[in-house]
Amino acid sequence: MDFITLLQAAILGIVQGITEWLPISSTGHMILVDEFLHMKVSQTFMDMFLVVIQFGSILAVVVLYFHKLNPFSLKKTPAQRRQTLSLWAKVIVAVIPAGIVGVLLDDWFTDNFYNYQVVAVALIVYGILFIVLERYNRKRRPRITSVDDMDYKTALMIGVFDILPLIPGTSRSGSTILGGILMGASRSVAAEFSFFLAIPIMLGASLLKILKFFMDSAVIQPVEWQVLIVGMVVAFLVSLVAIKFLMGFIRKHDFTAFGWYRIILGILVIAYFVYKSVAIA
């Protein structure tokens, strides 16, 4: 395996680690970056890699929130342990909608929506939604200021929003954060619950993709294992920074800046691929 290919895997890990947690679409960015990198691996492996690399990002959430998510911590009181178990129960409830739809329609979405047109439109539409929602939200006070105050109905509704990221360019964190804010959660609570919800969702997506990979009789070559490991390790390290950055950012700012970023990026994506098609013609 040459150094350039491992460097490309590291770049994809950086992109994954940043864009998974910021509401700007990790899948959309990964598809676009792959357009320029062209790693020397099979397309079957690449399709699996772009999903499984998310496992590194999951570990970052587990590390950063280990105490909060651990119901068996000896440092917690019995009441705090029950509270943690309740939080996990809400996460499981929220996972159900996306879990069902993802298992049934994952391949269909991959075959029909993984293209630059869908990515660009999703980036722009969600960018507009973030700007509009933030302007609307200035007149409201959140009714949920702690994840412990969230009820099961709210958790389920946020889970429904988690179906939308099956469309690339949408953003899993963006969809669930938008859903959380619309349901009355503060930005920090919506972001935190989005992180927790990502653990079973992304773990399930990774395992499903690996299972399909091997069911198709595909084999991971030794050099491809290196690519996968480098990508996941880099995604883990960058995710630690990205999560801390986002939580610090939203304490002082709203999501309007991310909305404008998405709109500008969506326009640039359209411009690039239109120019490319014209140049080829």
Distances (CA, A) of 193 to 169, 180, 244: 21, 8, 15
Q: pLDDT tens-digit profile of 246-262?
A: 999 988 888 999 999 99
Question: What are the φ/ψ torsions at residue 204 (nearest 5 degrees)?
Answer: -65, -45
> Which of 129, 141, 97, 137 shows the shortest CA–CA distance to 23?
129
Domain count, the chain: 1
Q: At what angle do helices 3-19 and 54-64 cross, to 10 degrees?
A: 50
Q: What is the pLDDT, as a whole number, of residue 57?
A: 92
Listed range (8-22, 99-113, 181-195) with the worst mean pLDDT: 99-113
Plot region of 41 (φ>0 → left; ψ -120 to 50 → alpha; else → beta): beta
**Token duo for residue 2:** 């040459």
What angle (nearest 5°) sits at the alpha carbon of residue 191, between those of residues 32 and 185? 135
* Average pLDDT, integer, range 156-173: 90
Residues 37 and 168 sit within 8 Å (Cβ to Cβ): no
* Domain around 251: 3-280
Q: What pLDDT score does 37 carry? A: 81
Give the Cα separation of 245 and 23 in Å (integer): 12
At 42-65, the pLDDT tens digits run 878 887 888 888 889 999 999 999
- Residue partners of 74: CB distance under 8 A and separation at least 6: none
* Position 1 confidence tier, pLDDT thresholds 50, 70, 90: low
What pLDDT sits at residue 217?
Answer: 67
pTM, to two decimals? 0.87
